[in-house]
Amino acid sequence: MSTITRFAPSPTGRLHVGNIRTALHNWLLARKAGGRFLLRIDDTDAARSREEYVEAIRADLAWLGFAPDAEYRQSERLAKYKAAFEALKAAGRVYPAYETAQELELKRKIQLGRGLPPIYDRASLKLSEEERGAKEAEGIAPHWRFKLDHYEPIRWDDGVRGPQKFDAAQLSDPVIRRADGSWLYMLPSAVDDLDMGVTDVLRGEDHVSNTAVQIQMFTALIAAQYAAAQKPRFAHEALLVGKEGKLSKRLGSLGCDAFREQGYEPMAIVSLLGRLGTSQPVEAFADPAPLIDTFDLSTFGRAPAKFDEVELARLNAHIVHQLPFEAVKGFVPEDFTPEAWHAIRPNLEKASEVIEWWQVVTGPVPALDFSDEDRAYLREAAGKLEWSGTPWQNLTGALKQTTGRKGKELFLPLRRALTGMDHGPDMKELLPLIGEEEARARLERAAA
């Protein structure tokens, strides 16, 4: 059976770094197996869902390089959820419940006060037909819960966490449909996974208890409606934390829009998140193929995965140093050449910085203060500038012979006069870009 994974965000906001990591790992898992990666927009909450966020999710995945093989909208599949609900209802696996939110909260507080787990007590399941009728006659519309089977423990072999076991009696029967008829997450997700043939569900460890509930839901749906379907495999990865080791609010605000604004390359983000939380080394990849080839759930650890922007910046610099000239042609001046890119690229942390370095080439450069001795040295340099062959090597070679200078004393005044900076690209590549006339003018200006 072909591997099919899915990413199912709610369009109630922008994707953040944790969402991106989940989507990426599902894409890598599918690509490693030669399978398919689905995008499923969980937009059943009409009040909070926004079309602008749907568009942003698509754009972000495309920018990162792992656009889905197919896309689905849960809002277009409501009839399927209704049919599954009716099938489960006929099988006795869903039941109406009449407690208000305030009544449920009071029950939870009482249970916690007695040192008991805050599990729903199934009070509505014990109501007679007459009692239910009376409540509805009062205008109380029920919400609907899935009835868990308490007789068998829930088990699965988790792709990251290993063998898992839950006592269903220690879980609340989940609400699957609100009193207004709208759907909560659990049932639509299970129906979609079966209907779309999803074989692997890879998500955060905060969904472990949801999986325990959904495993019973899968079993019930297969028995009631999806006889030919199979439950997917499950894997739950550790959540992201900040580098300080605690959950960080900042991680919830870091998304593709922030990364783009800060000038990060998509493959730097993919390189970091692809292996974050695994035993494999985090490396800078200009192409996702090595990440796909080496993706392995057995390398995922149980400890929280630490996201570090310093590490992201390091990877980004390595990625930029591998970028071809074509990657920057869209935002550099027309007179910017492949030779200029080759000269400037090793000094960049972000590709956008190329504009600042090109300004060093085209000028003007800031006027710096020099000692009388260095001004005399620069005046001599202006006179010895020879443009045939290799101008920088010619100039420094001649000055070394006539002045006896070497090392920093030889090179730094020249660099400062020619670029207005103490550091930068290799001068043997940069000087030809500046040009003979401009180079001589800068030397003479610094010597004045």
Render the burial of 335-357: b for 16+ CB within 10 Å, e for the rest: ebeeebbebbbebbebbeebeeb
Identify the H or E element spanning 200. strand 200-204
Give 33's contacts (C-beta < 8 A, 6+ positions apart). 2, 3
Contact 176, 187 (CB under 8 A): yes
Question: How many angstroms separate the CA atoms of 185 and 10, rounded?
Answer: 10
**319-322 long-range Cβ contacts below 8 angstroms, 24+ apart:** 319/265, 319/267, 319/268, 319/271, 319/284, 319/285, 319/286, 320/265, 320/345, 320/348, 320/349, 320/350, 320/351, 321/345, 321/346, 321/348, 322/284, 322/286
Tokens 């620069």 belong to: 378
What the block records as the tokens of 97 is 């419940």
DSSP of 96-123? EE---HHHHHHHHHHHHHTT-------G
| C-alpha to C-alpha distance for 171 and 188, rounded to whole angstroms | 20
249 marked as part of a ligand binding site: yes
Binding residues: 249
Query: From the annotation, which residues make up the binding site for ATP?
Result: 249
